[in-house]
Amino acid sequence: MGFFANCRVAEPFLTPYLIGPHKNISEEVVTNYLFPIWTYSYLVLLFPVFLLTDFLRHKPLIVVQGLFLVTNYVLLSFAPGLPAMILLQVNYAVVTSTEVAYFSYIYSVIPVENYQRATGYLRSAMLAGYTIGASLGQVLVSLAGLDYFYINTFTLGIVSTAFLISFWLPMPQRSLFFKGEKAAAQVLQPQQEEPEEPVVEKDEAGSGKEKMEHNGSAGWCSRENVATAGYLLWQNFRESYSSRTLVCWSLWWALATAGYVQIFNYIQLMWDHIEPSATSSIYNGGVEAACSLVGAAAAFSVGHIKVTWAVWGELALGMFSAIATGAVFLMALTSSIWACYAGYVIFKSCYMFLITITTFQIASNLSSECYALTFGINTFVALSLQTIITFVVVDEAVLGLDIVTQFIIYGSYYAIISVLFLIRGTFTACKNQRKPEHPETTEKESSVEVIFAEQSFEKAQQHNKAAITSTLKFMS
């Protein structure tokens, strides 16, 4: 399903389609009014969908995602007018918010020992779908000269396949937080008394039937189950954010992802501003395919660079964030479409490289039960920051800035991130490399530092493959 759901041939050409003759919406309306609706809707839906995903045990939400993905391209292909495109943004917010169900589904139906291999298969299928979809879209536009309308209908057929496949997925038998009444009672009351004997009642015909009496309401909505979910959420939250180092990594995750998603959403408008699609050939699909491959290579390279990321990782965040800052300013200030394309490839590669480091640094210091909640909270914080940026910078109700000024602000935003983490990274590196004050303890402490560094590296390597592939979801 992941391959077909991400093989969206028309996605790299969304903006030219909206501002072209098919929808005939102005660039200003798309920028300052239409796209912000998706951001606001996504923020409203994300956290409730996260809880509902676990409560319903994933599969129903995956089916809903497939249904709304199909509806998304039905609206794009056949619904005219601005009101239909407003509905499209809300519809797409449902699609993106339910992605959490797909990403976490696989871990609820397979044994723990298969997590790493399954993650590799899952992300590989998604990456292959996105890359092939973007490449195919470019071929259909540049070589076959196919109209955007037909590309959207072609994509509709592909995502419909994903929707049909979703019905054949097996239903998970367990959830992470909503564990059922019996398990809930065991979590909340480990020293539980002996279970009550069944109560036998006679019906009118005189036959006996057994009923097990429970405290509170039965099933998934029981008081014990809801209390257990809240208890487990709180315990996982405390474990995830009890370390200053983890908070620091999570802070970069949230800050950088907010900026990345904002640039990803509006880059097509920047390309159209530099070289309007109505007057020239566009290569959006080819650029997105190149970004997928280069970004994947950058992320994969993390596993083969022998660096103690616990020591040098924060400094790497600052340095590569500075490179990303330069790339964003290049996109904002250049008048060459090819320079803008190059800046986008550099920016996206830097982000993929850094989010990989961040992911496995967080994962290597957490138990597996905390992954979903931690990454979910980090994503929610990132989306909240993005919503604030959208409201202040993009929304026509506040500043409603033009696309060039927006990208200058995004570059300044990334410059602040790079400065913060360059300072923090320099401090961390100096602290870890500082020599002991007492000469007689130098050899002993150095040995301890070497052993600790080796252990940290080995632990990070254990989580590396799964973490690398998990970052590829941001490319879709």
| CATH number, position 367 | 1.20.1250.20
- CA dist 62 and 98 (Å) reads 7
Q: Tell me what percent of the residues of the chain surpass a pLDDT of 70.
A: 67
Per the rule left: phi > 0, alpha: psi between -120 and 50, beta: everything else, 455 is: alpha
Q: Are residues 150 and 275 in the same domain?
A: no
Does 287 have pLDDT greater than 60? yes
Q: Are residues 170 and 245 in the same domain?
A: no
- Asked if residue 200 belongs to a domain, the reply is no
Single residue among 157, 180, 203 that ends a domain in this structure: 180
- CA dist 18 and 269 (Å) reads 11
Is the pLDDT higher at 184 or at 26?
26
340-352 as b/e: b if 16+ CB within 10 A: bbbbbbbbbbbbb
DSSP codes of every residue in 16-62: HHHHSTTT---HHHIIIIIHHHHHHHHHHHHHHHHHHHHHTTSHHHH
- Asked if residue 224 belongs to a domain, the reply is no
Residue 83 has which token pair? Answer: 């009101």
Please name the amino acid found at residue 128: A
Residue 87 has which token pair? Answer: 């509905």
Q: Are residues 280 and 370 in the same domain?
A: yes
Q: Are residues 16 and 149 in the same domain?
A: yes
Q: How far is CA 413 from CA 144, 334, 418, in A?
A: 40, 19, 9
Q: Tens digits of per-residue pLDDT, 226-245?
A: 566 566 666 666 665 667 77
Using CB atoms within 10 Å of the CB of residue 227, give its burial: 0 to 12 exposed, 13 to 18 middle, 19+ buried: middle
Q: How far is CA 274 from CA 285, 340, 384, 396, in A?
A: 17, 9, 30, 22
Q: Tens digits of per-residue pLDDT, 370-408?
A: 566 677 788 889 999 999 999 999 988 888 899 999 999
Please name the amino acid found at residue 283: Y
Q: Are residues 20 and 168 in the same domain?
A: yes
Please name the amino acid found at residue 134: A
Residue 68 has which token pair? Answer: 């709304």
Single residue among 163, 180, 197 that ends a domain in this structure: 180
Q: Are residues 109 and 248 in the same domain?
A: no
Q: What are phi and psi of 149, to 5 degrees?
A: -60, -45
- Asked if residue 191 belongs to a domain, the reply is no
The per-residue pLDDT for 255 is 93
Q: How far is CA 380 from CA 20, 36, 83, 224, 258, in A?
A: 33, 16, 28, 27, 10
Residues 269, 31 contacting (CB under 8 angstroms)? yes
Q: Are residues 265 and 409 in the same domain?
A: yes
Residues 286, 137 contacting (CB under 8 angstroms)? no
DSSP codes of every residue in 254-322: HHHHHHHHHHHHHHHHHHHHHS-TTTS---HHHHHHHHHHHHHHHHHHGGG----HHHHHHHHHHHHHH
- Asked if residue 207 belongs to a domain, the reply is no
298-308 mean pLDDT: 72
263-282 mean pLDDT: 83
- Asked if residue 8 belongs to a domain, the reply is yes
Q: Are residues 174 and 245 in the same domain?
A: no
- Asked if residue 229 belongs to a domain, the reply is no
Q: By C-alpha distance, which of 404, 288, 406 is closest to 347?
A: 288
- Asked if residue 291 belongs to a domain, the reply is yes
205-228 mean pLDDT: 46
Q: Confidence class of residue 412 from pLDDT cuts 50, 70 and 90?
A: very high
Question: What is the number of domains present in the chain?
Answer: 2
- Asked if residue 215 belongs to a domain, the reply is no
Best-predicted range by mean pLDDT among 184-188, 349-353, 446-450?
A: 349-353
Q: Are residues 244 and 335 in the same domain?
A: yes
Q: Are residues 304 and 167 in the same domain?
A: no
The pTM score is 0.74
Q: Tens digits of per-residue pLDDT, 315-341?
A: 889 999 999 999 999 999 999 999 999
Q: Tens digits of per-residue pLDDT, 240-270?
A: 566 777 888 889 989 999 999 999 999 999 9
Q: Are residues 313 and 442 in the same domain?
A: yes
The per-residue pLDDT for 375 is 74
- R_g of the chain computed on alpha carbons: 25
Q: Are residues 437 and 369 in the same domain?
A: yes
Residues 6+ apart with CB under 8 A from 332: 270, 404, 407, 408, 410, 411
Give the residue numbers spanning the domain of 29.
1-180
Q: Confidence class of residue 428 from pLDDT cuts 50, 70 and 90?
A: confident
354-369 mean pLDDT: 71
Single residue among 155, 180, 205 that ends a domain in this structure: 180
- CA dist 225 and 238 (Å) reads 20
Q: Would you tell me how many other CB atoms lie within 10 Å of the CB of residue 113?
A: 7
Tell me 11's DSSP state.
G
Residue 187 has which token pair? Answer: 């979590």
The per-residue pLDDT for 178 is 53
